[in-house]
Structure 1
Amino acid sequence: MNKILLFFLLFFVSTAFAQERLIIIGGGERPKDALTKLIQLSGDAQGEILIITWASGEQPASFESIREDLASLSPIKIVHAPMSPLTAESKITFLNQLKTAKGIFFTGGDQVRIMKVLEDEELYKALHERYHQQVVFSGSSAGTAIMSEKMITGEGKFDVIDGTQVEVKKGLGLLTNAIVDQHFVKRQRENRLMGLILLNPELLGIGIDENTAVYVQDNYLAEVLGESQVLIFDTQGKEKELKVSFLKKGDKYNLKKKKVIH
């Protein structure tokens, strides 16, 4: 009996303190406070961040850019994941890299390229397993777009507010209660996100501007980092009625209760 009680106690403690961490950047300059948070959550100097450049058309240059940014802030170990397309051998290398990484960062480019690699179900599941094992995930631009289950591809008709005109595909889906858009204010992308949220009223729309990031804990507590704004769209259960929350650095939002935290 005591062994059974001990088992449930250990299970409760391990699950109670488990934490999912996600840092999503809207593109442009990567905010220093967002990268500092990524480094901290990845173990600082004793940690290791795995950089995935599959979205980029110039993968070595993409890696070098984020490597320089991170190295300027910390001596943390920075590892380049095998470049796409993966071979049978490089896939094994990548899976082994996942086992030791404490942080994972997806660079920008074309989000569809990332998900093309992740059509491999083993890789898709391996990333989810690490996320649920307290490995912090992050990305910028295309690396942010993949984080929602419904991923905006960038294709469609955007001069109307009509979600049926916006192409979406399956994303990595670490953020389950929202659709994410990036470069938001800079590139005036409100039409496509509002259209999608009106079409999917059960979800929030999170528009992250350039030089700005959102730090999400446990899929519900969101905090704005960086320089510009984050806009959150909520239908509040009433189709064709949108509430818009304008958030800036330091502001927090409860994604489950759909309200700003004061």
Structure 2
Amino acid sequence: MSESIESKGPLVIIGGAEDKHENCTILREFVRLAGGIDAHIAVLTAATAYPQEAGIEYDRVFSHLGAAAVDIVHTEEPDDANSPQLLEIVADATGVFFTGGDQSRVIRVVQDSLLEDLLHKRHREGIVVGGTSAGAAIMSEVMIAEGDSTTHPYLNAVEMSKGMGFLSQVLVDQHFAQRGRLGRLLTALLLEPHVLGLGIDENTAVVVQGDDLEVIGAGAVTVVDESETSHNNLSRLLKDEAMAVFGVKLHILPHGYRFNLKTRQPSVPEGSLVP
């Protein structure tokens, strides 16, 4: 990968089921990146079928962590994503957070709207954008819309669609270890060659700033790199047939470990004892 990842605001991409009641390590870091006690957070509930409940929960936790203001942005229909009142909230926000739910719902409601344009503008200006579960899946340019879990890679194991594109050249899968999603991520990466795969466990996140990615939380992030594989049988497959792939590179990164998205190299935390 020769091109540098474009410099924008930070991304906090969460694998789902993040702690909202105890130390709140991940959400605490999101608030810090949004400005700490001066943070003005806009919570986007487009993904969830229960927007009122999700809004109340994130209002509670972000307020508890010290954010100065929390506004809930409900976009249940595409017309909502062009509302001047909602656009004003996002224009004033120092951080934007996408809840979990169904990633395809976000695309249906937000994509090709004034809200989408404004979100990218604000991110380019440097505000932090975060998302959990479905809100993590949408971060990439191409996303996994749905797919089979706990399976080997096979041709129709995943359905791909356009994502929101906050992060380029990377594909995100969430609830990774808990739902056994290695097979579907491998499938997706064979369908999208040269894209890097991030499988993010629950209560775990990656914080992306420029080319640098840092893991925080209780689980791990599985980085899957298929860019230098020596063989696959994709061109000969029919529906439901198993995929073959040789030479996949895999990294497992727990809390504190880093990864460079430009060089595709992991690094150990400072102060770690390396044998």
How far apart are the structure 2 equivalents of 1:81 and 1:181? 25
Q: Which segments of 5 or more consecutive residues in structure 1 lack a partner in the other structure?
A: 1-17
- Alignment partner of 1:210: what SS? coil
Hey, what does 1:94 align to over in structure 2? 86
Q: Which has the higher helix share?
A: 1
- Alignment partner of 1:84: what SS? coil
TM-score, normalisation: structure 2: 0.83
Runs of 4+ more than 6 Å apart: none
More displaced, 203-212 or 31-40? Answer: 31-40
Contact 1:158 1:166 in 2 (8 A): no
More displaced, 135-144 or 68-77? Answer: 68-77
How far apart are the structure 1 equivalents of 2:82 and 2:120? 19
Distance of aligned partners of 1:120 and 1:235 in 2 relative to their CA distance in 1, 3 Å threshold? closer
Which aligned pairs between 1:82-231 and structure 2 lie closer than 5 A? 82-87=74-79, 91-155=83-147, 159-162=151-154, 164-218=156-210, 220-231=211-222
Hey, what does 2:229 align to over in structure 1? 238
Distance of aligned partners of 1:199 and 1:76 in 2 relative to their CA distance in 1, 3 Å threshold? same
Contact 2:195 2:227 in 1 (8 A): no
Number of residue pairs aligned between Structure 1 and Structure 2: 244
- Alignment partner of 2:83: what SS? helix
Contact 1:162 1:196 in 2 (8 A): no
Deviations 1:76-113, CA, capped at 9 Å, x for gaps: 21001133125469621121111100000000000111
More displaced, 103-112 or 149-158? Answer: 149-158
Q: Does 1:35 align with 2:35?
A: no
TM-score, normalisation: structure 1: 0.87
How far apart are the structure 1 equivalents of 2:161 and 2:150? 17
What percent of counterpart residues are identical? 34
Q: Does 1:51 align with 2:40?
A: no
How far apart are the structure 2 equivalents of 1:164 and 1:81? 35
Q: Which segments of 5 or more consecutive residues in structure 2 lack a partner in the other structure?
A: 1-6, 231-244, 269-275
- Alignment partner of 1:20: what SS? coil
- Alignment partner of 2:171: what SS? strand
